[in-house]
Amino acid sequence: MSDHIFTGSGVALITPMLSDGKVNFDVLEQLLEFHIANGTDSIIACGTTGEAATLSEKEHCEVLAFVCEKVNHRIPVIAGTGSNDTSTAIMLSRSAQESGADAILSVTPYYNKTSQAGLVKHFNVIADSIDIPVILYNVPSRTGCNIKPKTYEELCKHPNIRAAKEASGDISQVALIRSLCGDNLDIYSGNDDQTVPFMSLGALGVISVFANICPTEMHRICQLCLDNNFAEAQKLHFHYLELMNIMFSDVNPIPVKTAMNLYGFDCGECRLPLVPMSVAGYHNLKDCLTKYDLINKI
């Protein structure tokens, strides 16, 4: 497979909210322009970090359509369209394609989960329903369901199933996936702190929370890896590791949305059941952002 959906840093974009809890489309447009201007290689909208779990189906489709319209093919847009209901995933995926998305990101079924055979059927049916590429999203810490390497090997036989966001945290699993699937399945790290080791095994980049606040820096880390300059990539990785890690000091996306507010964007709060950080957590985050000179930048 020679054509890739993207290489480098894809941002798992937050969804800004107004004080009444509605989506703040004005700030969303500001964020899109911020990322395009600062080196982000792809926009991933309506994923976990985008609070897709609390968006209504109508809001979900509206956000994806808005992102596609405003980005206007300047960089790839990947639409989070996963669901634990296959028919809903198909509906969201078709809507994303109609809106102009370049690919979809489809998470494993959560809560009801399924077997490995069920995963093959679920993802193949979704891939059959659209004409744009599918990125599989494996995040067992949230879904309770892991895509096993042999299942990836079966799934990548489908011409539309082109890549995987691997957030299992298991680098041995990633090595085996690469061994079994080779160039038939592109890999993106789903964890910021594993980007460099994943890319040393052939991953093409990351779908990143950290990139929300540091788009240029995450792009640079990935580009160094793509240029086979892992020594310099490692130095940058270590420099920003504290900041990467503090973005997960509370349930994602609470810290990163708080960080973006401190940076200067009016992104609002997360929707319930996510609540603001504790006072201590907030001050730890603010101190870390101050250390990296990321307070009130706009």
Is 263 a known active-site residue?
no
Q: Name which of 64, 60, 165, 156 is nearest 105 in CA terms.
A: 165
DSSP conformation class of 210? G
Is 137 a known active-site residue?
yes
Question: Is the torsion defined by CA of 211, 265, 30, 106 positive or negative?
Answer: positive
Q: Which amino acid is at 17?
A: M
Q: 254: number of CA atoms within 13 Å, CB side?
A: 15
104 close to 96: Cβ distance less than 8 angstroms: yes
Angle between helices 57-71 and 86-99 (to 10 degrees): 30
In which element (H, E) is residue 128 found?
Answer: helix 116-128
Give the active site residue among 152, 165, 240, 257. Answer: 165
Residues 6+ apart with CB under 8 A from 4: 163, 186, 204
Q: How far apart are CA 249 and CA 244, in angstroms?
A: 10
Q: What are phi and psi of 166, to 5 degrees?
A: -100, 105
Residues 6+ apart with CB under 8 A from 251: 274
Q: How far apart are CA 225 and CA 274, in angstroms?
A: 35
Give the active site residue among 70, 113, 137, 282. Answer: 137
Instruction: Give the residue numbers annotated as catalytic, written as ranges.
Output: 137, 165
